Amino acid sequence: MLNWTPRNSIAAVCISLAPALTGCLTHTYSVPKTRPPDIVFSTDLSHLVSQMNDRYNSIQTITATVEIQATVGASRQGHATDYPAFSGYIFVRKPEDIRVILLVPVLRSQALDMVSDGKLWKLWIPPKNRAMEGTNQVSKPSPNAIENLRPAVFFDSLLVRNILPEEIISLTSDIRILQPATKKSDIVEEPDYDIEVLSPPTDQVAHTLRVVHISSADLLPYQQDLYNPQGQVVTRAFYSGYQKFNDISFPTRILIRRPLDQLSLSVTITKLTFNQSLDNDQFDLKIPTTVPIQKMD
């Protein structure tokens, strides 16, 4: 015999009311349609790391003709300023040498010359007759976001570095949303691979150095997040427009975002040569003796 309790009564009432309630309260509406990508490559961590290391090790020098546009400010300030695009050149020589030269639009005279060996850096701005030098690390951030920019930002954004033997790595997977080129196209939900690179642990504590996001459609990096020792993202680099240069796939469009400085740099590569011999004098920035040099750090 079934014992009827108040709890049974409440359950019976809820069941009896469910059809009426669902008919009145539910609402069906259209949402953007998504689909999986046409091609997805399945792989493992060892293959991704091997591919990433091979690509980095195959490049010893870079000679690039570029266009760079800077944007300063964002939501934190409530406004942003787009600066004119500058054409110029970027020279890279491993292990850490880099030089960035920008030209004044139309006049093609030198607007900026910046060089670093990975430890020290120099900056020469001829139009302002201003020169600066210091270490490659910013110890006292300037309120002027441009003054916090170091050549290492370009080096670390251009190249996705290899994994060192002492570093710890892990692999996760996520979904990234690719917006359609036209309104009639579907939104693509593409699985990706995320490689997290951590420092060697000290007292059982390791911190994230960077996260490399790799597309499953072509197994190439589309984003790299770089962290400081405090766990803050200091640089996000976004890669697109991959082309083959000397059988090496390399992005022709790189968007560099510096969230702490509220600074973005859009780098478009118009000409690129790998492994061309670069002499020492190409990384020797000579500042005129008549120009006072400001010590930044």
pLDDT for 55-83, tens place per residue? 999 999 999 999 999 999 766 667 788 88
Extents of the domains making up the chain: 45-295
Please state, in angstroms and rounded to a whole number, the distance separating the CA atoms of residues 38 and 133: 50
Looking at CATH, the fold of the domain delimited by 45-295 is given as outer membrane lipoprotein receptor (LolB), chain A (2.50.20)
Q: Does position 53 have pLDDT exceeding 90, yes or no?
A: yes
Interval 285-297 mean pLDDT: 88
Q: Does position 112 have pLDDT exceeding 90, yes or no?
A: yes
Q: Would you state the pLDDT for residue 170?
A: 97
Closest by Cα among 91, 36, 84, 35 to 61: 91
Query: Of 2-6, 72-76, 143-147, where does mean pLDDT reach its minimum?
Result: 2-6
Interval 238-245 mean pLDDT: 96
How many CB atoms are located within 10 Å of the residue 112 CB? Answer: 19
pLDDT band at 193 (very low <50, low <70, confident <90, very high): very high
How far, in whole angstroms, is CA 234 from its chain's centroid? 10
Q: Does position 10 have pLDDT exceeding 70, yes or no?
A: no
Q: Would you state the pLDDT for residue 35?
A: 81
